Structure 1
Amino acid sequence: MAGEFIVPVLAWLAVIKALHLGTWPALDRTLGSLAAAAAYPASVLLFTLLSWYCGILGLPILLALLPFLAGIALAGSRGFYTKERLRSTFAWDLAFLVPFLFMLEVRWINPTISYAEKFMDHAFIASIMRQPIVPPLDPWYAGGTLDVYYYIGYWMNGMLGLASGVPSTVTFNLALPTVLGLAVVSLYALGHLLLDRHRWLPVLALLIPNPSAIYHIVIGNSWFDVLWGSTRTITDTINEYPIFSMLWGDVHPHVISIFNQGFLLFLLVFAYMRWGTLTTRGRVILCGLAALSLGSMPGINSWDVLIYAPVTLIFGLLVWRRYGGSALDDERSWMMLVAVPPLAVAAYLPFYLQLGSSGIGGIGIVPAPSDPVEFLLVHGFFLAILVASSAPDIRRRPYLLAAAVPFLLAGYPAAAIAVVPLAYLIARRRFTAADTLAILGLGIILATEIIYLKDNMGETYFRMNTIFKFYLPAWLLMGTASLAIVGEWLGNAGIDGRMPARVERVLPALAVVALLAMPFAINIDFGYGSHTLDGAAYLEGSHPGDAAAIAFLRNLPGDQIIVEAEGGDYTYYSRVSSFSGIPTIVGMPFHEYMWRGDAGRITERSVDVRAIYEQPSRAVDLARAYNATLLYVGDEERDRYRVSIPADVLELIYDAEGVQIYRIPG
């Protein structure tokens, strides 16, 4: 890796470790040996929340670091950081660092902000880092803010970038390594709750592909086609799985949220399994952590809360049923059920009050359900494990197979497949943590065969977002449950007893080496690589004029609004606002239409931008109507419009390599 990026990476890791060290002591008495693990995701979420409130209050963002530094000082003065304690957290440090380095290699190979949703993702991060205010400015809708979208995940990464002094184009490529590292820590900690041995197995839910990917590999497709084809398996939908999302590289809400989903599952399972061992203080802290995680979900990826709010309530009921269930509840088992939801809402209450999104348009019945073969190519691995685990029950009570009949008669064969293991898990009535996770995951994929949430994606892709956003939580729920079952099978088979101790010690090291070698052993270069961590570095070769001009704009102080060409979505247009974070009149118009609807008058803005470039008599007045301060003229503007601007009334402030930037008179 180029030496120039060692310092930014180390600075980024130093901030995360400082947050971790400042949070860990507060969790130690509650979570015990798992406190150091939980402190990784908990500290990042807490820093995000504190910095967000600094943004609301207009305070310097770096003030959000003070509670963590104070925590380190206080714990240090009390002798908390002993050699034994620091040594005990080494495994968790590695659990974060190894996947972080793996993804860092992946991003170094494919760093460019140039395709899919990357322009959008970086635009939001750049806007937030340029002006860290709440709600953040919308870089593609001058005068508007991001109160129409879930932006907290972008805020999280932007604040880590500001705290570590890393520019947004590098922050973009450090975001997913951080997400994967935090997710691995969370699921590894969950493995410590679910299994006595092979506790790393739940982590595989983040790393294994679906059966469709295996099929594409077998038929000899390229890696690009393997990844793309395996996530478009169910017709007219998107069915991503975690390792695809990581390799594809969009720093998008559904990907950022993966670590927080794993963290909440860890907290809920911890409460279910260990509530009775906690003091009242410990229960309060655990409820606070669960509220912090659940409360962050609507702002990181709002679709998640539609799943995890009910999941939290279900676990709250299970805790109450297991430890209380009476009027004289000495265990205070009602706290998870009663305290967590309102605390979660309160944590980010200003977000809800500011939210201007129109939301979904209701619930519809799926008229064209999934093909059963396509369904199995997505969920087949986990379904096979869950059916196999139910085999003894199937032999004892074969009549429960009749649960599939109504769905078959109604024309929903994929739902009929999912309902079989679901029926047996419910009839078993064990409701262990693993069984409960499996039941919840199966319930999601069953429900999405029957109903969908209405949005503006059109008739063909009517259930695309429902499948897209709900399948990832289902994958994590079924995946962790299924892999925990595999761990139980391995333990019952006595695999550990037959494995030499030396081999058992060497295997983890070999797995680490294999993981870190994989990005180089397998060609995962999608053709956008420039072997750097700067996502904008490729512009110097492909668009040198824009590269220099954008570098100039990124250092331009003050509140600015820039006029640039609008050329549709998923194109190189809107590149100036995306790379600089300076708002433009309109960019990526379909995205803006999805968020703002007809009230946004997106088409009118596009027409006005054309007039600014082509009608010199109207240009200044139209630009002033949007409070624009800058006018950008580069190759894309000349290709898109018949450029004729009133240069005599504009101030030329930049002119190099075919790009001119004018200041618009106030």
Structure 2
Amino acid sequence: MAGEFVVPVLLWLAVIKLLHLGTWPALDRTLGNLSAAAAYPASILLFTLGSWYCGLSGLPVWLALLPFLAAIVYAGSRRFYTRERLQSALSWDLAFLIPFLFMLEVRWINPTISYAEKFMDHAILASIMRLPTIPPLDPWYAGGTLDVYYYIGYWMSGVLGLVSGVPSTVTFNLVLPTVLGLAVVSLYALGHLLLDRYRWLPVLALFIPNPSAIYHILIGDAWFDVLWGSTRTIANTINEYPIFSMLWGDVHPHVMSFFNQGFLLFLLVFACMRWGTLPLRGRALVCGLAALALGSMPGFNSWDVLVYAPVTLVFGLLIWWRYGNLTRDREKSWMMLAAVPPLAIVTYLPFYLQLNSPGIGGIGIVPTPSEPVEFLLVHGFFLAVLIAFCAPDIRKRPYLLLAAVPFVLAGYPAAAIAAVPLVYLLARRRFAATDTLAILGLLIILATELVYLKDNMGETYFRMNTVFKFYLPAWILMGTASLAVIGGWLERADIGRRMPARAGRLLPVLAVALLLAAPFAINVDFGYGSHTLDGAAYLEGSHPGDAAAIAFLRDLPGDHIIVEAEGGDYTYYSRVSSFTGIPAVIGMPFHEYMWRGDEGRISERSADVRRIYEQPSRTIELSRAYNATLLYVGAEERDRYTVSIPTEALELIYDAEGVQIYLCGVEGAEREGSLRKGG
């Protein structure tokens, strides 16, 4: 890796380790040998929460580091960090670092902020890092804030970048390595609860492709088509799976939430399996951590809470039933059910009160469900494992197969497939952790065959977001359950004990070597520029004028609003606001329409931007109407509009390589003050 990026990476990792060390001692008495693992995701969530409240209070976000530093000093004074204890945590450090390095290699090969949702992802990240206030400024809607969107994942990423001193264009490429590392630690810890051996198996849920990807490989598709085709298997929907989302590289809410999903599942399963051995303080701590994870979900990705709030309630009921027989028992088994939901709401209550999203327009019945073959190409591997898991029950009670018949008769054959293992797992009434995870995952994929949440995606793609956003949690739930089932089979087969000791030691080393070599063995370079961690570096070759002007604007102090060309979504337009975080009058209009609806008057803003560039008599008037201070004229503006601006009435503050930047919207003393602020 290029030497200039070693220091930013080390600073980033140093901050994460500092947070980890500050959190670990508080978890040790309750979580024992799993405390060092839980401290990784818990510390990130705690720092995100603390820094968010700093931003809400108008305080510097770095103050959120102080409690962690104080905790380290206190624990150090009590000799917590002994050599033996630090060595015991080494496996968890490696569980974080190895996938971090794997994903860092992927981002180094394919780092650019240039396609799919990457302009949006970086725009929000840059906006937060430029001015970390609550709610953050919307970079594509001047005068607006991001209270219309779930931005907590971007806040987490941005404040980590701020306190580590890493610029946003590099921070962008450190986020997914961090998310993957945290997710691996969470699922590896979950594996320690579900399995006595082969505890790494649940981690594979993050790395295995769906059967559709295997199909595309077998028919000889190119690598890009394998990735893309396997996530567009069910007609008019998106069916991503974790490793695709990671390789695709969008720093998007549905991806950033992976680690939090894994962490919450670990906590719920831990509580379910060990509640009876925990003192009251330990139970309260587990409930508090679960509330922290659940409470942040609407801010990370609001769709997740629609899954994990019910999941939490199910586990809460299961704990109460198992340990307290649904009574007010001495073990306070009802605590998870009664305490976690309200605590989750209180944790981020100001976020919920500020939220101004149009939300969901209701629930609809799916008129055109998935074709069975498509359904199996997405979920077939997990379904096969779970049906095999239920095979003894199927032989004993074949009549339960009739439960699938109503779904077939109603025209929902894919739902019928999911109903088979679901019915048998429910009929067992055992509700072990693995069974419960499988049941919950199956319920999700069955439900999404029957109903969908109404949004503004239109008639053709009416089901796209429902499938997209619900299939990922279903993948994690069914994936961890199925892989735990396989682990149980391997344990009973006693395969590991028959393996020579030397081979047992070499296999993990070989697996790590293969993982770290994989990014170079497969083609993860999509042709947008590579071999850097700076996501904006490609601009110097493809758009040198913009590259220099954006560098100027990134260093420009003061609060600004910029006028730049608007040219639709998923295009190079809106690039200045995206790379600088300076709000534009309007950018990526369909995104803004999804967030703000008709009340946002998006088309009116787009028309006003055209008038600013094409009607010189209205340039200053309209700029002032939006409080714009900067007017950007580059190649995209000249291509999009017939540029005719009153240059004599504007102050030219930048002119190089075909790009001019004017000061606009202010006059007299205001102009002089802005110029002094802007250099």
What TM bracket, shorter-length normalisation? over 0.9
The one-character-per-residue Cα deviations of 1:583-624 (angstroms, maximum 9, x if unpaired) are 000000000000000000000000000000000000001000
Q: CA deviation at 1:665?
A: 4.3
Structure 2 Cα separation of the partners of residues 112 and 18 of structure 1: 29
- Deviation string, structure 1 residues 355-401 (Cα, Å, up to 9, x no partner): 11010000000000000000000000000000001000000000000
1:158 aligns with 2:175: no
Q: Are 2:47 and 1:13 equivalent residues in the alignment?
A: no
Q: Quote the residue 2:247 is aligned against.
A: 247
Give the SS at the match of 1:216: helix
Which residue of the partner structure matches residue 118 of structure 2? 118
Kindly provide the amino acid, as one letter, of the partner of residue 475 in structure 1.
Answer: W
Deviations 1:238-295 (A, max 9, x none): 0000000000000000000010000000000000000111111111110000000000
Checking the alignment, whether the CA contact within 8 Å between 1:364 and 1:453 is kept in structure 2 is: yes
Report runs of 4+ in structure 1 exceeding 3 Å deviation.
none
Q: Please report how far the alpha carbon of residue 501 of structure 1 lies from its aligned counterpart in structure 2 after TM superposition.
A: 1.3
Indicate the percent of aligned positions where both proteins have the same amino acid.
82
In the alignment, what sits opposite 1:550?
550
Work out the CA distance in 1 between the residues paired with 2:525 and 2:607. Answer: 39
Aligned to 1:568: 568
CA contact (8 A) 1:651 1:665 kept: no
Q: In structure 1, how many angstroms separate the alpha carbons of the residues matched to 2:317 and 2:491?
A: 30
Please name the residue that 1:403 is paired with.
403
Aligned positions of 1:120-269 closer than 5 A: 120-269=120-269
CA distance in 1, matches of 2:91, 2:469: 32
Counterpart AA for 1:637: E
**Against the structure 1 CA distance between its residues 480 and 662, is the aligned structure 2 distance closer, same or farther, given a 3 Å change threshold?**
same
2:277 corresponds to: 277
Does 1:522 pair with 2:551?
A: no
Amino acid at match of 2:495: I
Shift of 1:642: 0.4
Partner of 1:342: 342
Deviation at 1:326, TM superposition (A): 5.2
> 1:198-220, CA deviations, whole angstroms, 9 ceiling, x for partnerless residues?
00000000000000000001111
Say which SS state the counterpart of residue 610 (structure 2) adopts. helix
User: Whole-Å Cα distance in 1 between the matches of residues 636 and 402 of structure 2?
Assistant: 62
Give the Cα separation in 1 of the matches to 2:657 and 2:595.
36
Deviations 1:127-179 (A, max 9, x none): 00000000000000000000000000000000100010000000000000000
SS at match of 2:449: helix
Q: Relative to 1, partners in 2 of residues 1:111 and 1:326: Cα closer, same or farther, differing over 3 Å?
A: closer
Distance in structure 2 (CA, Å) of the matches to 1:386 and 1:50: 41
Provide the C-alpha distance between the structure 2 equivalents of 1:594 and 1:391, rounded to a whole number of angstroms. Answer: 46
In 2, distance between residues paired with 1:327 and 1:91?
Answer: 40
> Is the Cα–Cα contact under 8 Å of residues 438 and 482 in structure 1 kept in the other structure?
yes
Which residues of structure 2 form unaligned runs of 5+?
667-679
Question: Contact 2:628 / 2:665 at 8 angstroms: preserved in 1?
Answer: no
- Secondary structure of residue in 2 paired with 1:339: helix
Distance 2:576 2:7 in 1: 27
Structure-1 separation of matches of 2:89 and 2:62:
27
> TM-score, normalising length from structure 1?
1.00
Deviation of the 1:483 alpha carbon: 0.2
Partner SS state of residue 475, structure 2: helix
Distance in 2 separating the partners of 1:660 and 1:260: 44
Question: Aligned equivalents of 2:313 and 2:399: distance in 1?
Answer: 31
Q: Which amino acid aligns with 1:64?
A: A
Deviations 1:284-314 (A, max 9, x none): 1100000000000000000000000000000
RMSD: 0.5
CA distance in 2, matches of 1:358, 1:612: 30
Long gaps (5+) in structure 1: none
Match of 2:360 in 1: 360
* Partner-residue secondary structure (3-state), 1:653: strand
Deviation for aligned residue 1:325: 2.2
- CA distance in 2 between counterparts of 1:552 and 1:229 reads 40
For 1:221 and 1:169, the matched residues in 2 are separated by 33
Contact persistence 1:407–1:413 (CA under 8 A): yes
SS in 1 for 2:369: coil
**What CA distance in whole angstroms lies between the structure 1 residues aligned with 2:664 and 2:475?**
51
In structure 2, what is the Cα distance between the partners aligned to 1:588 and 1:326?
52
Amino acid aligned to 1:27: L
The SS at the match of 1:617 is coil
Q: Which residue of 2 aligns with 1:28?
A: 28
Tell me, yes or no, if structure 1 residue 484 matches structure 2 residue 470: no
Q: 3-state DSSP class of the match of 2:620?
A: helix
Match of 2:460 in 1: 460
* CA distance in 2 between partners of 1:434 and 1:374 (Å): 26
Deviations 1:83-108 (A, max 9, x none): 00000000000000000000000000
1:445 partnered with 2:445: yes
> Which residue pairs with 1:663 in the alignment?
663
Q: Which amino acid aligns with 2:430?
A: R
Q: Give the corresponding residue for 2:427.
A: 427
1:413 and 2:443 aligned: no
Q: Equivalents in 1 of 2:428, 2:258: separation in Å?
A: 30
Q: What's the offset of the Cα at 1:327?
A: 4.0
Contact map agreement 2:106 2:519 (CA 8 A) in 1: yes
State the alpha-carbon separation in 2 of the partners of residues 497 and 58 from structure 1: 59
1:45 aligned residue: 45
1:144 match: secondary structure: coil
TM-aligned CA deviation for residue 59 of structure 1: 0.3
Q: Using the TM superposition, give the Cα deviation of residue 328 of structure 1 relative to its aligned residue in structure 2, in angstroms.
A: 4.8
Distance change >3 Å, CA 26–CA 664, structure 1 → 2 = same
Cα displacement (A) at 1:529: 2.5
Query: Equivalent residue for 1:310?
Result: 310
How many angstroms apart in 2 are the aligned matches of 1:436 and 1:161? 38
Task: Name the residue aligned to 1:647.
Answer: 647
Residue pair 1:649, 1:665 contacting (<8 A) in 2 also: no
SS of the residue aligned with 1:373? Answer: helix
SS at match of 2:358: coil
Amino acid at match of 1:174: L
Q: Distance in 2 between matches of 1:50 and 1:552?
A: 32
Q: 1:646 to 1:349 in 2, by over 3 A?
A: same
Distance 1:163 1:433 in 2: 39
What residue is the counterpart of 2:537 in the other structure? Answer: 537
Contact 1:142/1:585 (8 A) holds in 2: yes
Aligned: 1:473 with 2:473: yes
Hey, what's the Cα distance between the residues in 1 that align with 2:206 and 2:86?
Answer: 27
Distance 1:487-1:524 versus aligned 2 partners, 3 A rule: same
- Asked whether the equivalents of residues 400 and 424 of structure 1 are also in contact (C-alpha less than 8 Å), the reply is yes
Distance 2:219 2:633 in 1: 48
- Kept in 1, the 8 Å contact 2:326–2:334? The answer is no
How far is the alpha carbon of 1:521 from its aligned partner?
A: 1.1
1:383 match: secondary structure = helix
- TM-score when normalising by structure 2: 0.98
Give the length in aligned residue pairs.
666
How far did 1:405 drift? 0.3
Could you say what secondary structure the match of 1:233 adopts?
coil
Question: Once structures 1 and 2 are overlaid, which stretch shifts more, 520-529 or 387-396?
Answer: 520-529
Question: Tell me, what secondary structure is at the counterpart of 1:417?
Answer: helix
Show CA shifts across 1:557-608 (max 9, x none).
0100000000000000000000000000000000000000000000000000
**In structure 1, what residue type is equivalent to 2:292?**
L
